[in-house]
Amino acid sequence: MTTFNPHLTFGPSHTGAAAVTPSKGALWTGRVLSTIIALLLGFDATMKLLQIPPVMSASLKLGYPAHAVFGIGVVLAVCVALYALPRTAVLGALLLTGYLGGAIATHVRVGDPLLTHALFPIYVAAVVWAGLVLRDARLRAFLKSWLNR
């Protein structure tokens, strides 16, 4: 059963935003991680949108028909764009997590090796969220209030 917690806040608390404001080092580390992962996933989306032959071949081997690859690229591009914009970064991270969950399911379904293929999207998702937590004070405030409930 879930109960309402009136002390749960979604912004910087009145006890001081300094407790959740990232240091310059954490902020820049988060920005660098987020930029690297956005470039990686943006490159992946671009390759799907351009329907490069190696991407088409790999997608066919994973069981996706050729006509689906462009749509998958559009979905990934939208998720990356939302993640890159500070105002929608949390939504983008949530959507990327779902997208990467589909990638895990695909690799498990075709029997790819666990550590190198099937779990690789989890590693990517961890970097997505680590970068966001390090650079977003609102998310840090939410996590702090959620952990302290």
| pLDDT tens figures, 88-111 | 999 999 999 999 999 999 999 999
Task: Identify the CA nearest to 51 among candidates 41, 39, 61, 66.
Answer: 66
Task: Identify the CA nearest to 45 among candidates 115, 103, 114.
Answer: 103
The b-or-e profile of 84-94 (16+ CB within 10 A means b, else e) is beeeebbebbe
pLDDT at 71 over 60: yes
**Angstrom distance (rounded) from CA 90 to CA 135:** 11
**Angstrom distance (rounded) from CA 90 to CA 133:** 9
Residue that has been written with the tokens 């006890």 in this structure: 15
pTM of the complete model beyond 0.95: no
pLDDT at 9 over 60: no
